[in-house]
Each structure stands twice: as structure tokens, then as C-alpha cells.
Structure 1
């Protein structure tokens, strides 16, 4: 028979939170209390799975509620047969679960007639957690080196897009659907030595082979991470767009006309940057664009994580804000596929199994460190 003992330390362990539990914890308690009081409410709460509960003990108890048949109503009203059966079934997965905690669940339930509303709160809490996991998975893919990081990132983005579609179906819109959460500040671009070297090689290769620049409209100035190299790339594209001659001297002159020369980055430094080509501009441009794609994916993940951290946002607001954040990746993604020779990539809603990232095109000129030009023009 169920004991009337007061809550024990084991019951406190069921909270599983280092600080105050979130609001959804109380919704889980209220729902389980309602189902303990009136087992028939299970038929009215809508689709709900054990994994929708954040608390593992709650999940184990709900599993037992779904699998253990309750006794006839007249027996349930007069005897704790069913709660005892539930406790025996759930303790195999949650040893800390006690009879006194089941009493607590019943006592904290305001009314069993609101079980459907409590279940919707539990579903909302689960949706928030899953969305946050998707964002974390996207961020991890963007930060982890691998043989084909762009493919992995785009697959994770597609998985996120599919889940957002599911949320839109499960949680209809409502007045005030736009998120009120302030956007996460865009992280400052960190320039690594490797990225800086790649950008330097791009500038030298594009100066040596400027005829490739019109085919590289998929690469934008904002994709570069080193400010001085970004400015020099703008000089190169400006010259190519005007049909002006391009060589180290014309690039230097353009840099002077744009006011880019200063102490520490004078004529000698500019000439040194643009006068040592190795490989094709497309080769280095693809590497730079891939880095930009990964940076943008990480920024999207940060924005979504910021939204999910705001407990005041509804699930539909989370979905709306996440869609907007994910849309910022679409432009870079489209340019990435264009760079690889795939003009019509499937963006957004493709399932992970159908994501196809083409192999990069063979550069017109193979990368070859042996190709060298003099650092400065012969005087």
C-alpha cells in the first residue's frame, strides 16, 4: 500500500535541477497527477510520448501509465492498487521514484480536467529542448574539422528545417507570433593564420589570372575575414568590373586611390601580398567561401540558442525566429553550390538523406607552389 510518508531526500533528487526547476517541470507534475487521479484522462491529452518529459523519473512513470492497465473505477476510488502497480513498473527505470512522490504529484495537480492543457505544455517544453539540440548540432558541425564540413553543416541545416516544418504543423500560429527576444549579437570574425594565408593566396592568384574573376561572382568581399585583404579584394573586383588592366602595380594604385595605404601596410606590403601566385583563384575562393558558410551556420545556431533560452517565447515564435535565422544561411548556401557547379541546389526542406553536395570543379589552373612571380616589379 502507498505510504503517507513525507517527501524524502530521494524525492528531492527527482528534481534533477541545480537551480529552480523550469515552469515545464510543474506542468509535468500536474499532468502526471491528473493521470494518477483519473486514468481515463490519458485518452484526452493528445499525442504524447515518454521522451517528451524532461525529467527521467516523470518519463518512466508516464511509460508505466501507458502500459499498466488501471483497475475498474470503483476499485481505483477505494484502493491504491494502480499507483502501487505504477510504482513497481516505473522503479525499474527510475529507482529514486517513491510512493510519497506520487502523493506529491497528486497534491500539486490543480484539477484533472486541465490535463490536455498540461500535456500541451509538456509538448512545448520538449519542442524547445529539441530545437536547442538541433542548434547545438549545427554549431558543432560548423566548428568541427572534417573531410567535408560543408556537406555536414548543410545536412544539419536541412534536419533543422525539417523539424521547423514539423513545429509549424504541431503548433499553429497565434497573435504576436513574431519573437520578442533581442537577436544575439553577431560574433566578431576571428581570423586564423590558415584563413589569412588562403586569402593572401587568393589575392595573388586573382592578380595573376584576373580573367577568372568574372566567373567568381559567387565570392563576396564579406566572405573574407582579414580586413586589409577584404579591401584589396574589393580593389581587384573593382578593376575587373571596369575592364581595367590588372597587375600588381594597378592593384597598388587602386589601393592608394581608395585610401588603403598606411603605416604598416604600405606599397611594399601590398606588392608582397599580390605578387606570389600559386594555384587558381577558384581553388582559394572555394576554401574562403566554405569558411564563410561555416561561420554563418555557427551564427545561425547562436541566434536559435538565444531564442530557446528565452522561456517567454512560445513554440510558434521559436519556429518563426528560427526560420528567419536559417534563411540567412540560404544566400551563402546558394553561392556555395554555384561555386561547386550546382546551379539548382535543394535548399531548406530537403531531408538529410537527399542532400547532395557536388564535388568541387577542377580549377582551371592546378595549385602549384612552384609558380612564383617576383615580389616587386623590376626597376
Structure 2
């Protein structure tokens, strides 16, 4: 009995994604070159790697490799087309002679070959930039790297070099900043060790305020927990004003900043800044490193969002990506200021015989308030 599709069944062809615009540009260009091989000179600096389709790239390589035919002979026979087909088939076994003829029929205007080539290079630029953004995000979240900051900044430098190369290929134009809606930045996630490091910084900064004077490279935005960020503001405000710094004076400054609530009593706040271990610079570097890696993930997400928006031209991708990298470079500058040997002596990790008492902060204040993972 023949099968009859029901009203809820879709034809298989309906589920095949529609070809992207670059697919038609590749077909049009190849059709132009097969019809008029002399148009190859109009495609520079296009290479096979720029094609989205492997078969199209292999066919383009064959066209570039084989000597062009005599125009008069090419108009009378298919010798050169057959040679192109035979050269391509080892690399694209599914290619047929009928497809080559279909490409020729598909090309609207062979004299527009240069425009088709620009479309192909533009789409390749989008894919290359997207792949680099993915590698940046992967590196910034790789727990197995011995030096994650160096590796992450190296990936960011790779993106900068890609953008420089693309800027030489695509001319700028007015209104070149992308209008792509960027992904919202959610609360940063942190484990208990991350929060311990922030607490230890606050306690050691309170115990050794003279060292805080040299830590202008650390800002409240680098902290995961808003409570800790505001406490850091309180401590640094006292230090930069030249006031006395101890748990009681930090309590007074925190009170002026509205930190004391029903869930955070004065004795809890003073306990939070009363268990020093090691040096403020050591813990500050750890916090800044974590902030830098988090920013790298944000930058990668922004660049990926630009590349996912088909409305963006190559120059808009370049401009938006450079702006995103500038945010990461701001943290790079601060991290270099904190870790450059000429500015700061090497610091050894302190002995951590025991973590600070858990009772120093109410449990619900030890994680970002909007974090879903800790509910």
C-alpha cells in the first residue's frame, strides 16, 4: 500500500536548510570562469580556501591550475571543460559534467566576476573571525592550561592580526559600526575558592593597607561578589584618603556605603576583614586574572554575535571586533601593571593553613545574588 504523507508530516526537502547567499555567489563566479576563463584575473586575491563549499574550492583550484584555453577553441568545444572536470574529480568525486554546465547557465553576468569574488571573500572573513572567537572562548575556559592568561591573550593577539589583514582587504565605509544586539552579560559564576580569595584579599588589605596604595590596577569591577566589591571600595577609599585602616574603620566606611543590613550585622562585616593570610598583591593578582579570563569570554561572545549577523559588512565586523578587543586590552594593561617584574617583585603564594571562618558572611551573600547555579 503506498505511503501517504499525513497533514503533520513535512517533506524531507522542507527540512533542508536554504543555501546561504555565498552559495549563489560561488556558483555565479565559477560559471563565469568556466564560460570565460580570462575572467580569472578579476578574482585576485581569491583562493580556494575562501570558498564555503569544498567542491567549489576544488573546482576553482582546477581552473587556476590548468592553462587557459584559446577563446576561439573554447567557444567551439568542451575540451578545456573536460580537463577541468578530470582535474577536480579526485578531490570532489561527486562532481559531474552536468553540474559544470549548470554553473555556466546559472551565472547572470560573467563580467561581474570580481563582485562575486568579493562576496566570497567577505563570507570567508566572517567564518574565519567566528572560528577565532570560538578558540578565544575555549582557551579562556580551559582549566588545564598552565598559564591561562598568556594563552588567552595570545589568542586575542591572533584575532588582532586577522583584523589587520582583513582591514587591508576591505575598504572602510560610512556608518561602519555594527548595530547587532549584543548578548546580555549575566552574573559571573564563582566557586567557593574564588570567593575565599576575595575574602582573603579584603582581610589582608585591611591588615596591610600600605601595600594597597600600589594596587590601583585592581578595581571593584574585578570582583565576583558585589559585597566584596563595595568592601574593596571602602578599604581603598580609606587608604587613598590617608585615614586609619582596621576592621572598625572599614566598618564605618562600609556603613556610609549602605552595606549594613538586617542580613549583614556589624560583627559579621568586621569578621570578614579580620583573617589575613599572605599579601594583598598576591590575592589581587588572582582576582584580576579571573576577571581577565571572564572578560575574554565576553569579548569572544560579542565577536561571535557580530559574525552571526548577516547584515554586518566585513568592515563592520572589523570595527566591532576591534572595539570588543579594546575592552580586553584595558584589563591586559592593568594585569601587566600588576605582574611586570620591573614594577612589582615576584610574590609567593601564602601558606593557607585554614580558610577564613565561614561564619564571616551570611550564606546567601557568598554567591552572586542572581546566580541560578547556587539556588
Q: Counterparts of 1:1-379 in structure 2 under 5 Å?
A: 19-145=17-143, 146-341=145-340, 361-363=345-347, 367-370=350-353
SS in 2 for 1:189: coil
Please list the CA deviations of residues 144-184 of structure 1 after superposition, one character each: whole Å capped at 9, or x if unmatched. Answer: 12111110111111111111111111111122222222333
Displacement of 1:231:
1.4
Cα contact 1:223–1:289 (8 A) shared by 2: yes
* 74-83 or 141-150: bigger deviation: 74-83
Distance 2:48 2:56 in 1: 8
SS at 1:335 equivalent: helix
State the shift of 1:74 in Å.
Answer: 2.6
Q: Deviations over 1:171-215 (max 9, x none)?
A: 111222222223332233223322211111111111111111001
Task: Give the conservation status (yes or no) of the 8 Å contact 2:196–2:355.
Answer: no
Residues 160, 322 of structure 2: 8 Å contact kept: yes
Alpha-carbon distance in 2 for matches of 1:371, 1:121? 61
Deviations 1:82-121, CA, capped at 9 Å, x for gaps: 2222122112111222222212211111011100111111
2-side partners of 1:305 and 1:218: how far apart? 29
Moved beyond 4 Å, runs of 4+:
370-376
User: Is the alpha carbon distance of 1:247 and 1:370 closer, same or farther for their aligned partners in structure 2, counting shifts above 3 Å?
Assistant: farther
Provide the C-alpha distance between the structure 1 equivalents of 2:342 and 2:168, rounded to a whole number of angstroms. Answer: 31
1:194 partner SS? helix
Give the Å deviation of 1:306. 0.8
Structure 1 residues 32 and 375: alpha-carbon distance in aligned structure 2, compared to 1, 3 A threshold: closer
Match of 2:6 in 1: none
Q: Distance in 1 between matches of 2:357 and 2:300?
A: 44
Q: Does the residue aligned with 2:317 lie in a helix, a strand or coil?
A: helix
- The Cα offsets for residues 120-159 of structure 1, whole Å up to 9 and x where unpaired, read as 1111111111111121111111111211111011111111
Q: Residues 320-348 of structure 1, C-alpha deviation per residue, up to 9 Å, x if partnerless?
A: 1111111111211110000012689xxxx
Q: Secondary structure at the match of 1:329?
A: helix
CA distance in 1, matches of 2:98, 2:193: 60
Contact 1:271/1:375, CA 8 A, preserved across alignment: no
Provide the TM-score with structure 2 as the length reference. Answer: 0.86
Q: SS of 2:213's equivalent?
A: helix
CA RMSD of aligned residues (A): 2.2
User: In the alignment, is the contact (CA less than 8 A) between 2:211 and 2:280 conserved in 1?
Assistant: yes
Q: Distance in 2 between matches of 1:372 and 1:230?
A: 20
Q: Per-residue deviation at 1:81?
A: 1.6
**Can you list the C-alpha shifts for 1:232-283, whole angstroms capped at 9, x where unaligned?**
1111111111222212222223222322122332223323321221111101
Structure 2: tracts of 5 or more residues without a match: 1-14, 360-375
Q: How many Å separate the matches in 1 of 2:47 and 2:165?
A: 16
Whole-Å Cα distance in 1 between the matches of residues 95 and 189 of structure 2? 48
What is the aligned length? 344
CA contact (8 A) 2:62 2:84 kept: yes
CA distance in 2, matches of 1:84, 1:210: 80
